[in-house]
Amino acid sequence: MADQLIQCVPNFSEGRRFEVIESIIGPFKQTKGCNLLDHRADGDHNRLVVTLVGSPGPIQDALIQAAKIAIDHIDLNTHQGGHPRVGAVDVIPFVPLRNITMDECVALAHTFGECYHKETGIPVYFYEAAAKRPDRSRLEVVRRGQYEVLKTEAAENPDRHPDVGGPGLHATAGATVVGARKFLIAFNVNLDTKDLKVAQTIARFVRSSSGGLCHVKGIALSLEERGMTQVSMNLVDFKKNSLYRVVEMIRMEANRWGVNIVETEIYGMIPAEAILDSAAYYLQLRDFSAKQVVEMSLLDLMGQEE
């Protein structure tokens, strides 16, 4: 059987303490078969996003080790940051890349969730394709009210009990949301205004849940250290809504408020196809193909020779 290859993008509720961040990513660097491709910490969000690629077994082993470190160092009762969260280890999604199906990633998420709870004592919710209840497929529904609300409701309301463990959350580390999903692009647009209400209006305009663009999730955050606000988004299907379309829709709405886009951010990693699609749009390229990019053609050739 050919080797299975997955991507995993664990999110930790720590973006400010360098020594803690380095400790958390340590197991990902040290575990053979688990490849650390990227890690990004944001102080305003107070969040660490890690991108891993490798075989399911080594990635799961490294996740357990990293989670134990995070649990020892992160207390959600004192944690503050702009990004929604319910856990010290907030979310762990598995993404199929090669020789593994989405259904197999769902099974992987369920098996891992049980093992994770046994090893750490942290309750687990399942989301996206791994959701065991239809209403929990959307991450924002699971995280409704964040840790501060969920820690009470999980203990008292059966409808909010975790899927594994509980019913109450861990006293300091909350819960972890584990899932299986398609490739997602975390994309932020920073605006030259400190007015959070303006950014919130723009976020509502662009996200699908408010009648905006399909396959786009978005919230508004204040970037106090930079004197800006941010529309922070997840593009859950970039083939159906491109980066350039999101940018231009935000630009159009921002103009109504006399606000400009300062910069955009890709948080984590992104498929080349998504970048090339927007490059072709802004350069107004005619009959452009990814095969015209030297590196893409070389990668394709190397794949054929394996």
- Catalytic (active-site) positions: 83
Report the distance separating Cα 100 and Cα 72, nearest Å.
33
Report the distance separating Cα 180 and Cα 168, nearest Å.
24
**Residues 113 and 163: beta-carbon distance below 8 Å:** yes
Burial of 223-234, coded b for 16+ CB within 10 Å and e otherwise, reads beeeebbbbbbb
Report the distance separating Cα 203 and Cα 201, nearest Å.
5
List helix spans (H) across 11-55.
Answer: 18-30
Cβ neighbours for 54, distance < 8 A, ≥ 6 positions apart: 5, 6, 33, 34, 35
